[in-house]
């Protein structure tokens, strides 16, 4: 089994390696400095910020959904304790970590960039909480969170010295294309790994004062991580040049993966799934329509990318490159 290459996140990027982004500086906006102390009415506070913020007013919370969004949050969710990611970020002082990448990449001259894809704009609206079923809300929120992760990851890449030269928001292809001063473009496909359905069901039982203890297999967790990396690598297979598959694991679920990753449970050059879990086998059967050759091509697909990055997203939307893995024998 191959030894992982552990990235030292404290290492500073040398000035000569830093490429300047062509996107320029982010214009001043109240969302980037929004105070949260002594705020008792968050939804109205958000409304006042939204009035002058194109990232909120045109993309995250446009007029078409704002009234329904505001009404929903004036009555607390007593079943799943769901709450808007934007509102929660405002409450915790992290709103700029959500709106900053929008301003940086998707806003031009005070409005949405004219090159944005229409479907992407629709997907970026935070309306997942409108679904009646709590589990469906959770699933839709994961999709929305995935878009946020892609944009945050792009912004984080720039702090490491990359220049963003392409985003899925504007064209079909990899989630992100980035370049260093050496002039080599690299394609990144980013998959977010958050709270899975089984964990969420356990949370619901706990909130309802029902027995919530269940046994969750770490093997299934690693299977799922491997599957998500496979998905990213598969999508990158259509792209020429250097390619990196990225899994971003949220702190709320990092504990599931920490020990298996440290102890190198997966041979990333010749990967295979752990096969003795009934629920996992059912999951794989459900993937046959999308990935009919999943088992047989798993290794070759992963070896088709240059690296796999395992990134942890901690509190306050901070990103840390924990593992940088080569999937080839070279």
Instruction: Determine the pLDDT at residue 18.
Output: 34
| Residue pair 106/114 in contact by the 8 Å Cβ criterion | no
d(CA 53, CA 47): 10
Q: Averaged over 73-80, what is the pLDDT?
A: 62
Buried b (16+ CB within 10 A) or exposed e, 165-185: ebbbbeeebbbbbbebeeeeb
Q: Averaged over 122-126, what is the pLDDT?
A: 95
Indicate the DSSP class of residue 327: -
Q: Does the pLDDT of residue 134 top 60, yes or no?
A: yes
- 3-class secondary structure, 115: coil
- 3-class secondary structure, 254: helix
Q: Averaged over 85-100, what is the pLDDT?
A: 92
How many other CB atoms are found less than 10 A from the CB of residue 229?
28
Q: Residue 326 to residues 2, 5, 132, 309: CA-CA distances in angstroms?
A: 9, 8, 43, 9
Instruction: Determine the pLDDT at residue 151.
Output: 97
Q: What is the mean pLDDT of the chain?
A: 83
Q: Does the pLDDT of residue 190 top 90, yes or no?
A: yes
More confident residue, 218 or 188: 188
More confident residue, 139 or 191: 191
Instruction: Determine the pLDDT at residue 79.
Output: 44
d(CA 97, CA 90): 10
pLDDT tens for each residue of 19-28: 333 344 566 8
| Unique residue bearing structure tokens 């999308």 | 290
Lowest mean pLDDT among 142-146, 169-173, 186-190, 242-246: 142-146
Sheet containing strand 176-179, strands side by side: 163-167, 176-179, 185-193, 243-250, 307-314, 318-326
Residues 6+ apart with CB under 8 A from 41: none
How many other CB atoms are found less than 10 A from the CB of residue 287?
13
Lowest mean pLDDT among 85-94, 98-107, 113-122, 148-157: 85-94
**If you count them, how many residues does the chain have?**
330
Tokens of 23: 């996107």
Instruction: Determine the pLDDT at residue 287.
Output: 86
Instruction: Determine the pLDDT at residue 209.
Output: 40
**pLDDT tier for residue 198 given thresholds of 50, 70 and 90:** low
Instruction: Determine the pLDDT at residue 22.
Output: 39
Q: For residue 17, which of 157, 221, 151, 220 has the smallest C-alpha distance?
A: 157
Q: Averaged over 265-276, what is the pLDDT?
A: 92
């Amino acid at each position: 089994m191959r030894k992982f290459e552990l990235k030292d996140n404290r290492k500073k990027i040398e000035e000569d390696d830093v490429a300047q982004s062509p996107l320029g500086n982010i214009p001043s906006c109240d969302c980037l400095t929004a105070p949260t102390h002594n705020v008792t009415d968050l939804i109205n506070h958000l409304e006042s910020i939204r009035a002058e913020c194109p990232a909120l007013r045109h993309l995250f919370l446009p007029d078409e959904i704002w009234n329904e969004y505001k009404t929903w949050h004036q009555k607390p969710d007593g079943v799943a304790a769901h709450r808007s990611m934007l509102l929660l970020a405002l409450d915790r002082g992290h709103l700029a970590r959500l709106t900053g990448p929008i301003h940086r990449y998707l806003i031009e001259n005070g409005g949405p960039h004219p090159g944005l894809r229409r479907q992407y704009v629709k997907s970026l609206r935070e309306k997942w909480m409108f679904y009646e079923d709590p589990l469906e809300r959770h699933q839709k929120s994961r999709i929305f969170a995935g878009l946020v992760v892609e944009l945050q990851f792009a912004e984080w890449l720039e702090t490491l010295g990359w220049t963003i030269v392409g985003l899925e928001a504007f064209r079909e292809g990899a989630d992100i294309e980035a370049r260093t001063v050496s002039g080599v473009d690299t394609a990144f496909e980013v998959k977010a790994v958050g709270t899975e359905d089984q964990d969420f069901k356990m949370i619901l039982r706990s909130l309802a004062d029902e027995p919530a203890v269940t046994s969750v297999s770490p093997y299934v967790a690693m299977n799922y991580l491997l599957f998500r990396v496979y998905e990213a690598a598969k999508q990158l297979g259509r792209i020429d040049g250097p390619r990196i598959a990225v899994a971003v694991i949220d702190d709320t679920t990092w504990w599931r993966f920490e020990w298996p990753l440290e102890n190198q449970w997966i041979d990333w050059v010749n990967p295979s799934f752990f096969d003795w879990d009934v629920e996992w086998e059912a999951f794989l059967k459900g993937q046959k329509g999308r990935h009919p050759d999943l088992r047989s091509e798993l290794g070759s697909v992963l070896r088709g990318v240059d690296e796999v990055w395992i990134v942890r997203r901690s509190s306050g939307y901070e990103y840390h490159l924990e593992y940088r893995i080569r999937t080839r024998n070279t």
